[in-house]
Chain A
Amino acid sequence: EAGVAQSPRYKIIEKRQSVAFWCNPISGHATLYWYQQILGQGPKLLIQFQNNGVVDDSQLPKDRFSAERLKGVDSTLKIQPAKLEDSAVYLCASSPGVTGGYEQYFGPGTRLTVT
């Protein structure tokens, strides 16, 4: 079974530029998560989708971050414009269930550096 795929793996941009990340979850997984992980900290949930609907985006900085999940499968996360404090690893995870109590499978992440 293929795992969660993410691209690109690394990205370096200047502040005020825009960037987009892509995630392809495990086939059949209904729930998809985007996390931001700053060095030395735990992953922070940015947005959670169930199928193609948003169920939690309470910690997404909506003035600069946006995300969508196309046809309930692939997802993109965009930052526009980027700030220095956005430097982090962006993790995508998927889960088979739509209720609680299911494990999450993580992709390799995208390491973003904003200069």
Chain B
Amino acid sequence: QQPVQSPQAVILREGEDAVINCSSSKALYSVHWYRQKHGEAPVFLMILLKGGEQKGHEKISASFNEKKQQSSLYLTASQLSYSGTYFCGTERWGSGTYKYIFGTGTRLKVLA
């Protein structure tokens, strides 16, 4: 039931691009993306809602394929500050409320 993220880990050089994927087996209402640096709390990046609405940071881009229940986070021209672990969080309607669950995580390291 936990969303599966891929890749599990990636190493980039500054300026390179990366794509992180999140896949769920359940029909989703929304997908959220967070970045967590070591020893810190997760920080919100973006929400993608069923129907196409998006909310988040201007420099972050992502997509949500409602048919496949998959989301991708696009990191372009990576900077050292992008290093951390990225989690997707998925919302789905169930038992009278929105159920929330985080994905397996993707560790990203950007090298100078």
Q: Is B44 in contact with A103, judged by CB distance below 8 angstroms?
A: yes
Of listed A55, A100, A102, residue having the most chain B CB within 10 A: A100
Number of A-B pairs whose CB atoms are under 8 Å? 60
Q: Is A43 in contact with B97, judged by CB distance below 8 angstroms?
A: no
Interface size on A, residues (CB 8 A): 23
Q: How far is the CB of B40 from chain A (nearest CB, A)?
A: 8
Residues of chain B within 8 A of A35, CB atoms compared: 102
Q: Is B44 in contact with A104, judged by CB distance below 8 angstroms?
A: yes
- A48: nearest chain-B partner, CB-CB: B100
> Known: A41-B105, A44-B102, A45-B101. Contact between A106 and B42, CB under 8 A?
yes
Interface residues in chain B, defined as those with a beta carbon under 8 Å from any beta carbon in chain A: 2, 29-30, 32, 34, 40-44, 47, 49, 53, 55, 87, 89, 91, 93, 95-105
Nearest 9 A/B pairs, CB to CB: A106-B41, A42-B102, A100-B98, A103-B44, A55-B97, A100-B29, A100-B91, A42-B105, A101-B30
Given contacts A55-B97, A101-B53, 4 further A-B contacts (CB under 8 A): A45-B101, A56-B97, A56-B100, A106-B41
